[in-house]
Structure 1
């Protein structure tokens, strides 16, 4: 979600243009005089609305639909560098609009794990123009496109190398840094930490998550996610007792913020920490909570939840057969959608079970 640390006339104008309102209608929306909005746009960065008005602008931004948020950030990047003339060879106005629409369509396709459609929508733009031919609006859209490409590569398990999530995230981070959008830079730092964890660098990931859980550039939700993921990285190192309080703290934060899916995911991760510590009754209870809260979510979420459930079931000889059946279904779904990282995780759980002679051994 977009956030503004302090509003000036520049950000206010970007919000009006992103909302596609006239000065008069924008003033009416905010409950302010037309003259106030006119002065903001005339003075630009030289004026700062009063604190109570800053809060009104925060609320108006929070109510923008996702497409409006994209327009706001792109417009803000463009207004912030108004003196830079766009290269004549670069995209035309209608191409920017089509590009923005394709990003939105790719986000929708990715939420369904329709990787082929999402990739096709993104790749048609990633290589269309050299960076030198893009103005700030084009660079912003390029960075958003590259970030989403990284998300797709991460979800498919393509983590390292020239055409990988780590490379895409690093490229997008560089462009957002050039455009001066610190929130996006911090979000990509968080994504790079996730890739490090998925690649096996658990200590490095835990350290980076810890830093980002206190990073004011991130939204409250992303800070809570970073706190949860510190616990995840610790749990994967066998430090279950250290992981549990962090995960429980994140659960309380997600509940206070009404973040239902994150709340369910946190219960799933806490269940695995209890499983690792040998507390199977509590692990089973927490998985049940996550399952009850996670209906209607994406195929990827369902596979992750089923994998965790199967892992817990395999930890008890009495439910091991059920656990194998749950993992079989999860693997079939993962294969259908091309989730290679999830398939690798399921295979690792199966091997651990077989090496344990048909049950996991707890330390």
Structure 2
């Protein structure tokens, strides 16, 4: 995964288990496609790794000080390894470049315990898995799990061309190969994906899982929302999301519940930035409201939600916010810090 950017799932408050880290060794580093590297991580002492569920991701703590999230793409039944896929992003902040250029086989790094903000409904009568580019990483894990359960599903994988189609050999030869469909931007017309036709032909009650670039996801989700029940549509964003903020920022204040301190948050500056300047650190990763690392409990006040991580129900409850990008509609918000 290029950074796991979830839009749905239970919020995980940053104070919980944030200090718990795993030491893992890079057992293998491979080239999986153009600009995509694969990493196999094992426990540095040879023990089993913590169990995970399909759709999970881990935080990777890098030697350059960055923290980035990457999806686990392997079968959740595997406890001896975690497998990642990382897209090199030349325009990013340096996380993927570190993974590609600096990390090598044999290195020992620290990661978090697996977390899941993109869970699979294993009781669904059927599942439709749609992946665009590097978004195939959590989708692969879901396919492994559904196959092991003997559940009905189909996987559609879209890429620019064959050179950019990662994990193709695994998909073409794996236990669910007959349920995999490939779609290339430079392929023949009959091979290209028709989102509308695919969604319309899916059995009633099917759950949809989609992950990939923003444009791809917008097209799929927009079409699905025309007729699919909202609770059957699941998504996870990858890469940078533009326009998370707003041009109509207004100043407000934030109060720290444990000390009573109040800090002014001016227009154009985030809560995380203001608090950091005053010695109050909130862990962050994407800083765009899409990874969930900074989610913090709100004790009073009304947040101005600008994230793509919390669910609609969590937005409506107004007791959580992402201080990396969200602001306040009230004059002050009180944070559980």
What TM-score bracket applies, with the shorter chain setting the length? under 0.3
The structure where strand makes up a greater share of residues is: 2
Structure ranking higher on relative contact order (CA contacts 8 Å, 6+ apart): 2
TM-score in terms of structure 1 length: 0.26
TM-score in terms of structure 2 length: 0.28
